[in-house]
């Protein structure tokens, strides 16, 4: 386990640098990320570079044994560049040209900006690409934050080129988008605009293509930086980007593809307070400890998402150390929080945790954001945690070396997410919210679960949950059927196969491309308002209770089993959950929006069929992660919690962790 810290030497007097470097080392830190956002200091005026401060900073840090991660500074183009080329500034969805004065103030399609991007990246790479202590590069910072998509004239033109490339002819595009609807037929490429500022809502196919185009835009902009770096830096230096895992405007599988490793920025209390609204059901009770420990379900969900991007260990490139500045309450954290978080990250597959940030900033927007050191230079709470963790470094290495395996995979697809979130149909629908119920169901049962893409290799898994494969296509149906045929269990959930990848509705009976492998037809579906529920009965799944929010009425083909069915009108006697044998395996259609209990019951049923071990008496707030033969148990509550593993009674102290069948911690 490597520990690091984000450091901004340019924020502090040079005389403090050596002391900072020393304090870092003393706390077990060995990696320092620098130069992020420092464009104006590296290139104070066009083409005039100043490396002296950065050379010195690196030298000071290396002198204390640190390894360096350098950032390309493109998230913060300097004032002189914007002054001479104001068209670099992005145009928002309301059509307003934004201004200099914060960060991320650029359009990634702007050719002038791309030219200057290449120059600064080349200059940095040439200077530090062979530095033995520079171990890697972070490109830009948190792509798509604030302004996920630009709507300037250059973007409009690039969008047309992208469409031309994709569709070839006007006719193909008109056909794909269904422009016969509302007379939207285009007779020339120049007629197509970005889908903003329309009178009514725009064509969903048009929107989905703009989302794809802009995701591709970020990937392409990153690729420009990657190629400029790769041709200049040593083999020992990696290239990464630090994503906001909860942000859904980029297909992160695409973004991760050409990177050596992927990293994400983890802020547990912030994600719990802000992101929780999108992940929990409105009104659902949230963990009371999450206000200052974050929510391990949410943190873990994004660890798993990030790990799945390359199917490999990842980095935390920024990790919360204390209070943050961008949520509603921004509460402080207590001693011990950083240790729990770091261990959870490690157990979840992080091979490095880089803390954000060294000293709390005295100026700029993030004045109220804690670091490991307070504004006056003294240690903050997180620094104390680091000192207490020094004795655990060896154990961390040991656990980190254990294999991280899951028998269950949860399918994630950004095209599906964009299509659903743009047209939720029923208020409150949200792609990740629906997936998160199944993620929590697995965690509650003590089961490791991987979030994986449609393109991933699924061979290692026994169970594949595809809760909302909304845009169906034959290759996916085929891949799922092969997985099942070879002995796996596949679950397809509600709204699966409803549309084609063009974001138009299938003209086949539902679930469209999946109907044959599922062996059932979705005859009707009802969005249910709050207060209305449809009772279920189920012989196999006990206590299935009532369906709320969304219900689909299934008609099974002969030979398809009914696992749950509706008892009352309007869907009386029709199926809600079906099961069909396919080769050596089984394929399920799960036609309801489940409560956590319903999802847990169903996942438990699947797991027991595959004889996957459950920890079925995990109390709320106790999280289990298996690494090799070891099970790490995290207690996020303020009371000691007990569970039973393999016949052993185990107690975990409040806000502490214990490793079963490994070193007792």
Select 203 or 240, whichever has its Cβ closest to a copy of itself: 203
Token couple for 393: 């470094």
Token couple for 157: 């033109």
DSSP string, 10-72: GGS-GGGHHHHHHHHHHTT--EEEE-TT-HHHHSSBTTB---HHHHHHHHHHHHTT-EEEEE-
HSE-CB at 342 with a 13 A cutoff on CA atoms is: 30
Answer for the pair 140, 72: CB distance below 8 angstroms, yes or no: yes
Compute the least distance from the CB of residue 86 to a copy of itself, in Å.
10
Select 84 or 646, whichever has its Cβ closest to a copy of itself: 84
Select 60 or 456, whichever has its Cβ closest to a copy of itself: 60
Token couple for 433: 């919210």
Select 247 or 404, whichever has its Cβ closest to a copy of itself: 247
Whether residue 357 is preceded by a cis peptide bond, meaning omega within 30 degrees of 0, is yes
Instruction: Give the containing element (helix H, strand E) for 138.
Output: strand 134-138
Distance CA 358, CA 22 (A): 12
At residue 124, the 3 state secondary structure works out as helix
At residue 190, the 3 state secondary structure works out as helix
Distance CA 233, CA 321 (A): 32
Answer for the pair 87, 114: CB distance below 8 angstroms, yes or no: no
Token couple for 655: 């806000």
Compute the least distance from the CB of residue 512 to a copy of itself, in Å.
9
Looking at 423-552, list the stretches that DSSP marks H as alpha helix, in order from N- to C-terminal side: 431-444, 474-485, 515-518
Compute the least distance from the CB of residue 640 to a copy of itself, in Å.
15
Compute the least distance from the CB of residue 29 to a copy of itself, in Å.
22
Distance CA 440, CA 300 (A): 10
Catalytic residue among 273, 318, 392, 513: 318
Compute the least distance from the CB of residue 245 to a copy of itself, in Å.
19
Residue 316 β-bridge partners: 264, 353
Select 199 or 664, whichever has its Cβ closest to a copy of itself: 199
Select 51 or 238, whichever has its Cβ closest to a copy of itself: 51
Distance CA 49, CA 368 (A): 32
Q: Which residues, at least 6 apart from 42, have a Cβ–Cβ distance to it below 8 Å?
A: 35, 49, 50, 51, 54, 73, 120, 123, 124
Select 25 or 103, whichever has its Cβ closest to a copy of itself: 103
Select 260 or 516, whichever has its Cβ closest to a copy of itself: 516
Residue with structure tokens 């050719």?
A: 111
Compute the least distance from the CB of residue 330 to a copy of itself, in Å.
5
Select 531 or 558, whichever has its Cβ closest to a copy of itself: 531
Write a three-state SS string for 235-290. CCCEEECEECCCCCCCCHHHHHHCCCCCEEEECHHHHHHHHHHHHCCCCCCCCCCH
Residues in the chain: 665
Answer for the pair 355, 317: CB distance below 8 angstroms, yes or no: no
Compute the least distance from the CB of residue 5 to a copy of itself, in Å.
17
Compute the least distance from the CB of residue 508 to a copy of itself, in Å.
6
Token couple for 549: 């929010």
User: Which of 577, 546, 545, 572 minimizes the C-alpha distance to 561?
Assistant: 577
Answer for the pair 34, 68: CB distance below 8 angstroms, yes or no: yes
Residue 136 β-bridge partners: 69, 238
Nearest 5°: phi and psi at 181?
A: -70, 125
Asked if 318 is an active-site residue, the reply is yes
Q: Which residues, at least 6 apart from 450, have a Cβ–Cβ distance to it below 8 Å?
A: 304, 307, 308, 406, 408, 409, 410, 461
Compute the least distance from the CB of residue 434 to a copy of itself, in Å.
16
Select 23 or 499, whichever has its Cβ closest to a copy of itself: 499
Catalytic residue among 36, 43, 64, 142: 142
Compute the least distance from the CB of residue 89 to a copy of itself, in Å.
8
Q: Any idea which residues carry the catalytic annotation?
A: 142, 318
């Amino acid at each position: 386990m490597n520990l690091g810290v984000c450091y901004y030497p340019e924020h502090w007097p040079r005389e403090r640098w050596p002391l900072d470097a020393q304090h870092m080392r003393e706390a077990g830190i060995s990696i320092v990320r620098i130069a992020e956002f420092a464009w104006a200091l590296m290139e104070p005026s066009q083409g005039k570079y100043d490396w002296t401060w950065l050379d010195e900073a690196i030298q000071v840090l290396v002198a204390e044994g640190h390894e360096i991660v350098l950032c390309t500074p493109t998230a913060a183009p300097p004032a002189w560049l914007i002054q001479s080329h104001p068209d670099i500034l992005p145009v928002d969805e309301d059509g307003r040209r934004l201004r200099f004065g914060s960060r991320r103030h650029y359009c990634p399609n702007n050719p002038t900006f791309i030219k200057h991007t290449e120059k600064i990246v080349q200059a940095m790479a040439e200077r530090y690409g062979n530095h033995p202590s520079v171990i890697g590069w972070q490109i830009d910072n948190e792509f798509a934050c604030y302004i996920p998509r630009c709507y300037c004239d250059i973007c409009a033109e690039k969008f047309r080129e992208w469409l031309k490339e994709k569709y070839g002819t006007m006719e193909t595009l008109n056909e794909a988008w269904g422009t016969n609807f509302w007379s939207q037929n285009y007779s020339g490429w120049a007629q197509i605009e970005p889908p903003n500022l329309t009178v009514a809502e725009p064509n969903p196919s048009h929107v989905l293509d703009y989302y794809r185009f802009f995701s591709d835009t970020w990937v392409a902009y990153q690729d420009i930086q990657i190629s400029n770096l790769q041709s200049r830096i040593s083999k020992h230096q990696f290239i990464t980007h630090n994503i906001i895992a909860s942000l859904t405007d980029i297909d992160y599988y695409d973004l991760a593809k050409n990177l050596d490793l992927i990293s994400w920025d983890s802020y547990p209390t912030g994600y719990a307070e802000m992101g929780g609204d999108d992940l929990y059901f409105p009104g659902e009770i949230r963990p009371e400890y999450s206000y200052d420990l974050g929510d391990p379900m949410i943190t873990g969900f994004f660890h798993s998402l990030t790990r799945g991007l390359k199917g490999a260990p990842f980095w935390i490139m920024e990790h919360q150390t204390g209070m943050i500045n961008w949520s509603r309450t921004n509460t402080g954290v207590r001693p011990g929080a950083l240790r729990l978080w770091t261990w959870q990250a490690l157990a979840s597959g992080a091979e490095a945790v880089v803390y954000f940030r060294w000293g709390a900033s005295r100026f700029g927007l993030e004045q109220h954001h804690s670091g490991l050191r307070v504004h006056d230079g003294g240690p903050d709470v997180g620094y104390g945690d680091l000192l207490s963790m020094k004795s655990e470094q060896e154990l961390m290495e040991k656990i980190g070396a254990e294999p991280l395996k899951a028998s269950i995979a949860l399918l994630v697809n950004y095209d599906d997410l964009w299509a659903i979130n743009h047209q939720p149909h029923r208020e409150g629908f949200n792609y990740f919210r629906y997936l998160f119920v199944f993620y929590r169901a697995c965690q509650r049962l003590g089961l490791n679960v991987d979030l994986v893409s449609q393109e991933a290799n699924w061979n290692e898994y026994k169970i594949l949950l595809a809760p909302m494969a909304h845009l169906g296509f034959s290759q996916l149906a085929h891949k799922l059927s092969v997985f099942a045929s070879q002995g796996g269990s596949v679950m397809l959930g509600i709204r699966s196969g409803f549309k084609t990848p063009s974001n138009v509705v299938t003209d086949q009976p539902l679930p469209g491309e999946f109907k044959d492998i599922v062996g059932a037809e979705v005859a009707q579906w009802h969005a249910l308002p709050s207060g209305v529920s449809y009772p279920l009965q189920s012989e196999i799944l006990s206590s299935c209770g009532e369906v709320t929010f969304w219900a689909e009425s299934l008609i099974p083909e002969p030979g398809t089993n009914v696992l749950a069915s509706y008892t009352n009108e309007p869907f009386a006697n029709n199926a809600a959950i079906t099961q069909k044998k396919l080769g050596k395996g089984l394929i399920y259609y799960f036609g309801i929006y489940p409560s956590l209990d319903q999802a847990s019951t169903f996942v438990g049923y699947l797991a027991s069929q595959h004889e996957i071990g459950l920890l079925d008496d995990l109390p709320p707030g106790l999280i289990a992660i298996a690494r090799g033969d070891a099970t790490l148990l995290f207690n996020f509550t303020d009371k000691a919690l007990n569970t039973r593993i393999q016949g052993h009674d185990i107690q975990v102290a409040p806000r502490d962790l214990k490793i079963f069948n490994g070193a007792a911690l």
